[in-house]
Amino acid sequence: MSVSLVTTFFLSGLPHPPALDTTLFGIFLLVYILTVLGNLLILHVIRVNSHLHTPMYYFLTNLSFIDMWFSTVTVPKMLMTLVTPEGKAISFYSCVAQLYSFHFLGSTECFLYTVMSYDRYLAISYPLRYSSMMSWRACALLAAGTWLSGSLHSAVQTVLTFRLPYCGPRQIQHYFCDAPPILKLACADTSVNEMVIFVNIGVVASGCFLLIVLSYVSIVCSILKIRTSEGRHRAFQTCASHCIVVLCFFVPCVFIYLRPGSKDAVDGIVAVFYTVLTPLLNPIVYTLRNKEVKIALLKITDKVTHFHTE
């Protein structure tokens, strides 16, 4: 990593009129609290309910854990930029840590969505062999593979970004440290870095999305072979939740990282969708659309109510 003359960067924050500082702070604080509580609730519900100790919910616990921290990497700092001008400052090494953590959790989530689609493919296409094909050992290996792959992918992004010298402007036109706005501040040619990052992210995002699409094409073919309409409806409902969160995650990422040119204001607003809203959307989608989780939540609610009435 190159030695940089810059010791502190300054985040511009979200583009908005200053009069909206308090309003935006309140909205994003509420969303962040709901995100953390919602994902903690899913983790707790799955842990205490033995009926949810299945591969699908094992991967869902990984997703909830990632979402909780994915939001924590960016939102608290964004809140600080809304409260005080001093909150916009971020040290060089804190910026490195934030970029690494952001891409680590984001790419791990990308790989995890792919694994979850593969899990649904096996469950629907091979119901009789599913338990042997998706054993707990296989689940653990697949989950570990997503975390390891995400770590390596993020390491590449971070090293490529911060191996360049930074000696001049320090204003990052974004609300968190990300590669595209940081590279604009480098005191060297960044064309090679931008191309490698573009290809790296492009291969990961397009590869994962292609595998997910292939999984769901196979899933739809298998569902159409189910004789009963109730069985088809149950199978479609199980997969619908996953499809919703996949689209909400991938579409903004593709828009920001895999299009020619970059508009800082537009990128900042679009990034809110997958850094702030998607982590909140996951617990909502997986609870409101999932019958098993709703039943487990009702049981916990009944226990709490019964405890307080005694």
Q: pLDDT per residue over 192-247, tens digit each?
A: 888 888 888 878 888 898 999 898 888 888 887 777 777 677 767 767 777 878 88
The yes-or-no verdict on residue 262 having pLDDT over 60 is no
Choose the most confident range, by mean pLDDT, from 12-26, 132-146, 160-174, 261-275: 132-146
Q: pLDDT per residue over 110-127, tens digit each?
A: 999 999 999 988 988 888
Which amino acid, 150? G
* % of the chain exceeding 90 in pLDDT: 39
Structure-token pair, residue 15: 């583009």
Residue 101 belongs to some domain of the structure: yes
Q: Domain residues for 264?
A: 8-309
Residue 116 belongs to some domain of the structure: yes
Residue 3 belongs to some domain of the structure: no
Residue 146 belongs to some domain of the structure: yes
Q: What is the pLDDT averaged over residues 262-273?
A: 70
pLDDT at 304: 65
Would you call 17 helix, strand, or coil by DSSP? coil
pLDDT band at 72 (very low <50, low <70, confident <90, very high): very high
Of the candidates 282, 275, 272, the residue with the CA atom closest to the CA atom of residue 245: 282
> What's the CATH number where 305 sits?
1.20.1070.10
Residue 2 belongs to some domain of the structure: no
| Across 57-61, 130-134, 273-277, least confident range | 273-277
For residue 310, the cross-strand partners are: none
pTM for this predicted structure: 0.87
Number of structural domains (the chain) is 1
pLDDT at 95: 96
CA 36: distance to chain centroid?
Answer: 13
Residue 35 belongs to some domain of the structure: yes
Q: pLDDT per residue over 162-196, tens digit each?
A: 989 998 788 998 899 998 889 989 988 888 888 88
Q: How far is CA 289 from CA 22, 89, 239, 292, in A?
A: 33, 41, 10, 9
Residue 79 belongs to some domain of the structure: yes
